[in-house]
Amino acid sequence: MSNGYATRIALVATLGGLLFGYDTAVISGAIGALEANFIEPLGLAETARNSLIGLTVSSALFGCILGGIAAGWVADHWGRRRGMILAATLFLICSVGSAVPELGLGAIGSLGPDALTPFNIYRVIGGIGVGLASMLSPLYIAEVAPRQKRGQLVTYNQMAIVLGIFGVYFVNWAIARGGDQGWLYASGWRWMFASEAIPSLTFLVLLLFVPETPRYLVMRSRDAEAKTLLDRVEGPANAPAVLAEIRGSLVRHSDRLLSYGWGVIIAGVLISVFQQAVGINAVLYYAPLMFRNMGWAGDTAFLQTAFVGAANVLFTIVAIFTVDRWGRKPLMIWGAALMAVSMLALGFMFASNSLGSAALFVVIAYIAGFAFSWGPVAWVLLAEMFPNSIKGKAMGIAVAAQWIANLIVSWSFKVLDGNSQLNELFNHGFCYWLYGLVSIAAGLFVWRFVPETKGRSLEEMERLWARNAVAPLPHAARERT
């Protein structure tokens, strides 16, 4: 029964993950319209045009970086729940403003290219919400979940992210079928962004009915409330022991960031960077463009993108049922291997112009590799590996690093993939080779340096890192694996 309650409140928090996926992927269906309405009229040269398109597609990521940096402070000073309420509000503002960037400035469609600036500002606002939710949702889930179900429940957040991506791909496809390309470029793209208002408002309302986490309540000396919540989450028999463990781990809740050495910080940051540097969001944001490069066009490119979203959902389910059984490290290593093989193969297919259904299969294999490993399991590791006394600061830094890496990858993909000289040599294959090599490095890093967190309480992780606080990262990793 207690697990059922924990699951229900965790599912509310996963709506932050759903909006994370929805907000970051919704722009994939509107790239052509944004380019036609706001960028082509500027008459820029190739590199400048591609750079501006890349910055527009990734503009939300500037906000994600800010939200990621602020998330630790918000979590510790405002609380996990109120931080998510703020994120939900920002999502709602973004959905309306991105759909109608002329709001308060002129009639719809009257600003032309000048609407690009307010559009990007609204996307940054939404990005701040994404940055906050990307840290606060898994943190909330990890702190309310019973130990034996924590990995599975945190993985639900990644499932929500991929459902958000999958859902918005179908929403975009359905909207694109509502008219011809002229209608899509004139009005359809606005409905894509406006559709986000529905899940945003739902998230905001449901957050009014969930509690704070027991760890935050203890941090604020609200032990009686924490005990009441733990009775429901852990059960009355286990609640006193869990409460005592939380008290012990939070005695030093204002510890310096480096109280446990550099190893845990470096490990968390690199997990975040590798999660993005393998190229996942270049594939997700630019999926319709990628399929057009393969020879598919129009609605077919949108439909192929939906297949990618379906694979993302299916193999995230695999992670949900294996992360607490097989452990975090094996999934991360095998996922990196599958991504590396898939991206290297796709690069060769582009370079040799041997595309078609085989290329779609390779893309789906890549998505599968990410979905059962680096997508959900990286978040599980980040939610579990940091000691409680530095969790807010450390996780905020790791999340900010993730969004910086996301920004670099998302912006650079359009610049590299649209470069005429590179395409003469590699026919759009260069980026995929690059992502394949990074995937190899990611798998080696996890194998060598990352500790297994399966079956360990959050308080045990604190003791684990404390034993090796002064040890170099390689030695610390050997001690823990």
CATH number of the domain where residue 128 is located = 1.20.1250.20
- 40 belongs to a structural domain: yes
In the prediction, which pLDDT does 72 show? 80
- Share above pLDDT 70 across residues of the chain, in percent, rounded to a whole number: 85
Q: Measured over all CA atoms, what is the biggest interatomic distance in the chain, rounded to whole angstroms? A: 70
- Supply φ then ψ for residue 436, to 5 degrees: -65, -40
The answer to whether 115 and 102 have CB atoms below 8 angstroms apart is yes
- 219 belongs to a structural domain: no
- 381 belongs to a structural domain: yes
Map residue 100 onto helix, strand or coil: coil
Is 60 exceeded by the pLDDT of residue 57? yes
- 148 belongs to a structural domain: yes
Could you tell me which of 390, 408, 39 has the C-alpha nearest to residue 219? 390
Distances (CA, A) of 291 to 32, 36, 87: 14, 19, 33
Cα–Cα dist 386/404, whole Å: 20
Is 60 exceeded by the pLDDT of residue 378? yes
104 or 251, which is more confident = 104
The 10s digit of each residue's pLDDT in 234-284 is 778 778 887 887 777 665 545 676 667 677 888 889 999 999 999 887 776
Q: How confident is the model at residue 465 (pLDDT cuts 50, 70, 90)?
A: low
Helix (DSSP H) and strand (DSSP E) numbers for the chain: 25, 0
* For residues 139-144, average pLDDT: 86
Q: How confident is the model at residue 328 (pLDDT cuts 50, 70, 90)?
A: confident
In the prediction, which pLDDT does 349 show? 84
Collect all residues with Cβ–Cβ distance below 8 Å to 339 and sequence separation of at least 6. Answer: 278, 366, 369, 370, 374, 435, 436, 439
Give the number of C-alpha atoms closer than 13 A to the C-alpha of residue 149, restricted to the C-beta side. 17
In order, the DSSP letters of 393-422 are HHHHHHHHHHHHHHHHHHHHHHHHHT-HHH
The answer to whether 450 and 271 have CB atoms below 8 angstroms apart is yes
Q: How confident is the model at residue 478 (pLDDT cuts 50, 70, 90)?
A: very low
Counted domains in the chain: 1
The answer to whether 250 and 390 have CB atoms below 8 angstroms apart is no
Collect all residues with Cβ–Cβ distance below 8 Å to 427 and sequence separation of at least 6. Answer: 350, 351, 352, 353
Could you tell me which of 305, 274, 218, 311 has the C-alpha nearest to residue 446? 274
Distances (CA, A) of 172 to 31, 207, 413: 11, 27, 22
- Supply φ then ψ for residue 125, to 5 degrees: -60, -45
Q: Which two tokens stand for residue 308?
A: 């990618």
- 101 belongs to a structural domain: yes
The 10s digit of each residue's pLDDT in 403-460 is 888 888 877 887 777 677 777 777 777 888 999 999 999 999 999 888 777 766 666 6
- 240 belongs to a structural domain: no
State the residue range of the domain holding 325: 2-210+251-480
- 221 belongs to a structural domain: no
- 364 belongs to a structural domain: yes
* For residues 390-405, average pLDDT: 81
